[in-house]
Structure 1
Amino acid sequence: MTAHYTSDPAPHPGDTGTDRRDTDWISPALWLLGATREAGVSTLERFWAFTADSEGSWPPGDDRDRVSPYVVLVARESFKSLSAAQNLALAHSRGEVGAGSELLGLITVAAAPNLEKPIRQHRDVVAAAFEQVWHIGWHRHLLSAALGRLPRWHPLDAGALAPVDGLPVDLQHTAIDLTNTIHARIPTLFIPGVSA
């Protein structure tokens, strides 16, 4: 993970660095919150250098000077994971979880090469609970890929818009769209109660 500049363990969104990490820790631009454990967060985090796994926690929305409030839920395309994502989104909209954090949308990750009709219909119903939805297709090679050998993508890399060897096109397009979504919200980052 490159979301921080330290040899300490990966950051946790609730950890704002009250120890020596206080000066070293840098928040990722975007937190990936898995709806369930098998959602695919660790793979997405490896591909996208501007993200970090929130490890099941919402970032503190009251420390925007240090911690990004931006979150996307990640769900595998299964009834269990999609339902969990829907429940998290509804709880967030009611203010029960993630106070002050900004839920940007949902990323669904294919669980098989073909999506069965009942799951596709359920995915479409769940998608209605989100402002934006991104879909990551089926990439069989990712099931056995070593995370450390996957390519990294960062919006500030030279040639970030050019194809990247080993990076599926849908992952790159989603990363670009997520980056643009975050950039659109930055002007209102420090205005209480306002999101783009």
Structure 2
Amino acid sequence: MPAIGMADTEVAVIDYRPKDWPTQGVKCIARRTAIPVERSPTGRARKRRTIPSDQLTLALDGRLEHVYGYSFILTNLDVNTAEQLAELKWWYRHRTDLEALNKDARLGAALRHLPSADHRVNTVWMWAALLACAISSWLQEITGIDYANGRGRRTLTRLRRELICVPARLTRSGGITYLRLPPGEQLLATVLPQLQQLPRPG
């Protein structure tokens, strides 16, 4: 059954239970996503662990054009029809988005370091952390570096490393200002032209 809101993704109910889990009323839902080799996740990415190692080896050797990433959830909710199955997987996926947002705020925006015994100061710190998460999401959405469907989004920590804290140098020659980036592919070279094309506020 095709997944809702995810390209090249299928979901199915499979016969699997972890040891000692109840067998009555518990179902295992598997999700399989086709990932082109050129978009395969890096070694640091959690998504890379969803790809079987044998497939990944063949892909890196140039013998496959795409690999499959697998994920599983166990549920006691009804999945008696294909429509229920697709809708339930969509619901679970967006539920985990909230958990990812909380984790990003804690680890990427220092929400875990509330600085004061004063409730008002901590409230401001909390809203600043959540605003940082929102700005990160907006930046990736308007510059097209995520998949434009809420998926493939970088965490704040990764975005800071790949975009915000990239060393660069401004130089001028013939009245023109140049931004000199380090050698190699740089995310800033993709993001900056997109931002420059945005209409200026009136």
Structure 2 length normalisation: TM-score? Answer: 0.22
* Structure ranking higher on relative contact order (CA contacts 8 Å, 6+ apart): 1
More helix by share: 2
Structure 1 length normalisation: TM-score? Answer: 0.23
More strand by share: 2
